[in-house]
Amino acid sequence: MTENHNLFVALRRAWPQDLDSTAVEVVDGPSAGLGYSWRDLDRASAMVANLLDSLGLPSRSRIAVQVEKSVESLILYLATLRAGHVYLPLNTAYQSAEIGYFIDNAEPAVVVCSPKNHGWVSKIAFSGKTRHVFTLGDDRTGSLLERAAHHSDRHEPAVCQADDLAVIIYTSGTTGRSKGAMLSHGNMLSNAQVLRSYWDWRPDDVLIHALPIFHVHGLFVAIHGALINGSPMLWLNRFDPATVVSLLPRASVFMGVPTLYVRMLEDPRLTHEQASRMRLFISGSAPLLIETFRDWQQRTGHTILERYGMSETVMLTSNPCLPDARHGGVAERRGGTVGFPLPEVDLRVVDDQGEPVPAGEIGGIQVRGPNVFQGYWRMPEKTAEEFTADGFFRTGDVGRIDAKGYVTIVGRSKDLIISGGYNVYPAEVESVINDLPGVAESAVVGVPHPDFGEVGVAVVIARAGARLDPDWIIGELKARLANFKIPKRCYVVSELPRNAMGKVQKNLLREQYKGEFA
């Protein structure tokens, strides 16, 4: 019999023998207090998978999903894997122009949206190639569950090869720059297995899940982590620092972007005692400030484990959880670094000619391994550009590896702002500003922010004779872009600093505005 590499099959294999034990306990939102057993996840995902099968879709159809977080949205993800289709999660903050771009680009066969957005989303979807639009609310309402209720709760998972496509994650945006990273069943399974062992997941672990599930961090690192260890989750639809702090005595693992740690540190109930049952705090998606790392140590007695990854590669490096035999048994989690390349991940730092640099020197980070994606959706040239002749992916991150093997990220060669763990591409925001009446040009730069780590500031030049109001500009952007992309301040100025070639010197703007949120 051929082996089935469907990721769902591998996850389910790890579930506990007692399928009636709790897999997910909902802590907040309309379903607060509800518990879902492993059997519930299995049966409900079977019903939704049977619904998808009944639609007679071509295999590997894209299923685009923009819904509020709920356990049912997790079930929809599992059902999509199970049915052998391709899951395409979309940030709930995306506005119609952004959704229009993704639907046009990915041509999903099925779109699932929140009931409140059904009007405009279905209009966009049906004007393209989509034939089916379902709704799914965070209160267990919507046509998806109504239709699934008529289907059997048994389902034979589709047979998949390791390199069959399982998920497309869009990097960001409405412009031609936005790319769909294609991840296979094998990419995600290899990473989930490596993390299970490297982070020493234990039989009695309990995960607090408080991240959104339309990105790699919440969906793959956190959910796969718990599911491939058969560990229950305490489930929050929305991150709330006080709720997470109150849950610590019932849990052992927590994962967050740095903003979550910054906000939890504000809660006076965060103490050694409150965190005494916890085993592991993990941070990633954006740089963790050394102050946050130290404050956390002091307040809880725990050393945050920082790791590094990206949509195209899932996880790449991690500080050690246990002594790492590959590095002489070192167990130190070193603040300011993202730790060692994970087992199976080849990571090198190269100069502008692509030659590896000596230890301690800065260069571009390139990676290779079973976790590295299959390429960008329908962008073969872009994909080819991002890989070297010997198969390494150019991450666009800049860093160094010290003599002991710790990797430090020092910057990015890509023009990218990471705000509260979300990526914002300045070019995308600038192009929307530049299209506004009265705008001659603009520049968006990232500056330090105490809560979000980094936020965008827009610097705008008016056309001759036009008068621009910064508040009006922000208002217009809010109607067109996801909220996290909106610059937190906007300045109308008479000129932008330029170099001899006429290029805007963003480094000077960053310097000028760096103290805005100090």
Which residues would be at the binding site for ligand MLC (CB under 6 A)? 211-212, 215-218, 239, 257, 259, 284-285, 309-310, 419-422, 452, 455, 483-484
Q: Considering CB distances under 5 to 8 angstroms, the limit depending on partner class, which of ligand MLC, ligand AMP, none binds residue 91?
A: none
Residue 206 or 424: which CB sits closer to ligand MLC? 424
Residue 285 or 303: which CB sits closer to ligand MLC? 285
Instruction: Pick the closest to residue 412 from 364, 468, 449, 450 (CA basis).
Output: 364
Instruction: Pick the closest to residue 134 from 204, 185, 188, 72 (CA basis).
Output: 72
Give the H or E element holding residue 417: strand 417-419
Q: d(Cα 75, Cα 149) in Å, to the nearest integer? A: 13
Burial (CB count <10 Å: 0-12, 13-18, 19+), residue 426: buried
Q: Least separation, in Å, of the C-beta of 358 and ligand MLC?
A: 27
Residues in the chain: 518
Residue 285 or 442: which CB sits closer to ligand AMP? 285
Q: Considering CB distances under 5 to 8 angstroms, the limit depending on partner class, which of ligand MLC, ligand AMP, none binds residue 419?
A: ligand MLC
Q: Least separation, in Å, of the C-beta of 315 and ligand AMP?
A: 9
Residue 173 or 420: which CB sits closer to ligand MLC? 420
Q: Least separation, in Å, of the C-beta of 223 and ligand MLC?
A: 12
Q: Least separation, in Å, of the C-beta of 306 and ligand AMP?
A: 5
Residue 52 or 216: which CB sits closer to ligand AMP? 216
Q: Least separation, in Å, of the C-beta of 309 and ligand MLC?
A: 4
Q: Considering CB distances under 5 to 8 angstroms, the limit depending on partner class, which of ligand AMP, ligand MLC, none binds residue 171?
A: ligand AMP
Task: Count other Cβ atoms within 10 Å, centred on residue 253.
Answer: 23
Burial (CB count <10 Å: 0-12, 13-18, 19+), residue 235: buried
DSSP-assigned states of every residue in 28-90: SSTTTT-EEEHHHHHHHHHHHHHHHHHTTPPTT-EEEEE----HHHHHHHHHHHHTT-EEEE-
Q: Considering CB distances under 5 to 8 angstroms, the limit depending on partner class, which of ligand MLC, ligand AMP, none binds residue 134?
A: none
Q: Considering CB distances under 5 to 8 angstroms, the limit depending on partner class, which of ligand AMP, ligand MLC, none binds residue 21?
A: none
Q: Which residues are within 8 A (CB) of 515 and not within 5 positions of it... i.e. 6 or more apart?
A: none
Q: d(Cα 414, Cα 205) in Å, to the nearest integer? A: 37
Binding site for ligand AMP (CB under 6 A): 171, 216, 284-287, 306, 308-311, 338, 395, 397, 409, 412, 418, 423
Q: Considering CB distances under 5 to 8 angstroms, the limit depending on partner class, which of ligand AMP, ligand MLC, none binds residue 395?
A: ligand AMP
Q: Considering CB distances under 5 to 8 angstroms, the limit depending on partner class, which of ligand AMP, ligand MLC, none binds residue 412?
A: ligand AMP
Q: Least separation, in Å, of the C-beta of 144 and ligand AMP?
A: 27
Q: Least separation, in Å, of the C-beta of 428 and ligand MLC?
A: 14
Q: Considering CB distances under 5 to 8 angstroms, the limit depending on partner class, which of ligand AMP, ligand MLC, none binds residue 397?
A: ligand AMP
The pair of structure tokens assigned to 217 is 């961090």
Contact 255, 221 (CB under 8 A): yes
Q: Least separation, in Å, of the C-beta of 19 and ligand AMP?
A: 33
State the pairing for strand pair 363-368/393-401: antiparallel
Contact 359, 402 (CB under 8 A): yes
Instruction: Pick the closest to residue 280 from 203, 221, 207 (CA basis).
Output: 207
